[in-house]
Amino acid sequence: MLLKNMMRATSVTFIVLMSLVTAQAQIALPQGNVLNLNTSSDVLYLETRILFNTGIYKSEDYCWNKISDSLDSRWLVSSCFNGDCKNDLLASGCFIKDFGLNDSTCFLAFHVQTNSFNGTSVIKYNIYNKKNSADKTVLTFNIHYRNTTGVLVKNLPNQAIIAPNPSAESIVLRTIESVKDVEIQIRDVMGEIVIQQLYNDFSSETINISNLTEGVYFVNIIPVFPRNEKDVNIPVWSTLKFIKQ
């Protein structure tokens, strides 16, 4: 009887401990689960941060899949997960590791160009822990375009590259064609701007990164267009990633 009671107590203790450990993991969305984005700019750059209190899990244990979207087929769209950008909305995948220590930060971003066709769309993604079915959330983007002109990206280059990558001292950011009036931003994994510069005519620039701490950074190439001061959405034409050694 004593042995049975000890085994029962041990089992209860184990279940309680497992419950406490499992509860450590959570998906947090600092900007909220529902983002309402209204803009009159033809290009819209949407980004949200996802924070994982990883606990017993790893960042790559967290994955995503598209639930639905109502995008107009005339719009151009690309999606970015941790800086890896692809055309169209990616259907599914898992986050990459090493974006933090115990807590990890991941990014979802979308670039949408309306081509002057106004409209409304809803994009929904499921974010989940593949090792804990209870650890999940749904991220919703409500997008509303109005009064767009379709005169944005026609003068921007088709490609941009960073070299060398990784680098310890400096990087060279280069576009295939020169482009007028852009802002170059370098952000860390927490989304903070660490380097920022405006260019009237950009094609190539050597950027000193020796003062940055080691880690992953993102370069945003942002076309500078006249826009209403109340329009807080910033159109980002391109996002690239590099590693500071």
132-145 and 34-39: which strand pairing?
parallel
pLDDT, residue 182, reads 80
Pair 98, 46: CB distance under 8 Å: no
CA distance 204 to 163: 11
Whole-model pTM over 0.85: no
- Tell me which of 2.40.50.140, 3.50.50.60, 2.10.260.10, 2.60.40.3080 is the CATH number of domain 153-244: 2.60.40.3080
All structural domains of the chain with their residue ranges:
27-145, 153-244
Judged against a pLDDT cut of 70, whether residue 150 lies above it is answered with no
Among 74-88, 102-116, 217-231, the minimum mean pLDDT is found in 217-231
Q: Where are the beta strands (DSSP E) in 21-159?
A: 27-28, 34-39, 43-53, 62-69, 76-81, 84-87, 92-94, 103-113, 119-129, 132-145
- Percent of the chain scoring above 90 in pLDDT: 18
Q: What is the mean pLDDT of the chain?
A: 76
How do strand 132-145 and strand 119-129 relate by DSSP bridges?
antiparallel
Which has the minimum average pLDDT: 7-11, 14-18, 180-184, 188-192? 14-18
Question: Fold identical between 27-145 and 153-244?
Answer: yes
| Sequential DSSP letters for 80-114 | EETTEEEEB---EEE--S-SBSSEEEEEEEEEEE-
b/e burial code for range 92-130 (CB count within 10 A of at least 16 → b): eebbeeebbeeebbbbbbbbbbbeeeeeebebbbebbbe
Fold classification of 27-145 (topology level): Immunoglobulin-like (2.60.40)
- pLDDT tens, position by position, 1-33: 555 554 455 444 444 444 444 445 688 888 889
Backbone angles phi, psi at 240, to 5 degrees: -125, 160
- What integer pLDDT is reported at residue 218 of this predicted model? 82
Residue 152 binned pLDDT confidence (cut-offs 50, 70, 90)? very low
Dist CA 97 CA 64 (whole Å) = 14
Residue 206 has a CB neighbour count (10 Å cut-off) of 11
Tell me how far apart the alpha carbons of residues 132 and 130 are, in angstroms, rounded to a whole number: 6
Condensed to tens digits (0 to 9), the pLDDT of residues 61-70 reads 889 999 999 9
Terminal CA-CA length for the chain: 62
Per-residue pLDDT at 203:
83
